[in-house]
Amino acid sequence: MRFFALIAVIITGALLIYATVDMPNWGDPNSPANIHVSPRYIEKTIEETATPNAVTSVVADYRGYDTLGETTVIFTSGIICILLLRRRK
């Protein structure tokens, strides 16, 4: 059974490595991520959000839901830590 598991893992890993061949080159200016959203954010961030730091405007404004989720994850981890560890003598 472990042998079949090993075969499955090797096949999946080979497929994943094969799929990376199709990915755009590192920093390729013509990759889809660099010709659709990135120029839009870089060009409009001052005009739309009055924030010179494009990273901040993307993180907190254009991708606001994402950051809300991240904050909730951190809050949840703190609450879980209290729930699991906290004891009163």
Partner 1 sequence: MIGRFDNVIIQTISRLLIPPIQLFALYVIAHGHYSPGGGFQGGCILGASFILMVIAYDIKEAKRMMSEKVNTIFSSLGVIIYSGIGVVCLILSANYLDYGILNKIMPVTIAEARALGIFGVEVGVGITVMAVMVSIFLNLASGGEHEEAEE
Q: Is 53 in the site for partner 1 (CB under 8 A)?
A: yes
User: Is the Cβ of residue 31 or residue 60 nearer to partner 1 in the bound state?
Assistant: 60
Q: Is 85 in the site for partner 1 (CB under 8 A)?
A: yes
Q: Is 59 in the site for partner 1 (CB under 8 A)?
A: yes
User: Is the Cβ of residue 10 or residue 73 nearer to partner 1 in the bound state?
Assistant: 73
In this structure, the number of other CB atoms found within 10 A of the CB of residue 45 comes to 20
Provide the residue type at 85 as one letter: L
Strand extents, DSSP E, 37-82: none
Contact 10, 22 (CB under 8 A): no
For residue 27, with 0-12 CB atoms within 10 Å meaning exposed, 13-18 middle and 19 or more buried, which class applies?
A: exposed
User: Is the Cβ of residue 1 or residue 85 nearer to partner 1 in the bound state?
Assistant: 85
Site for partner 1, rule CB under 8 A:
46-53, 55-57, 59-61, 64-65, 67-68, 70-72, 74-75, 77-79, 81-82, 84-89
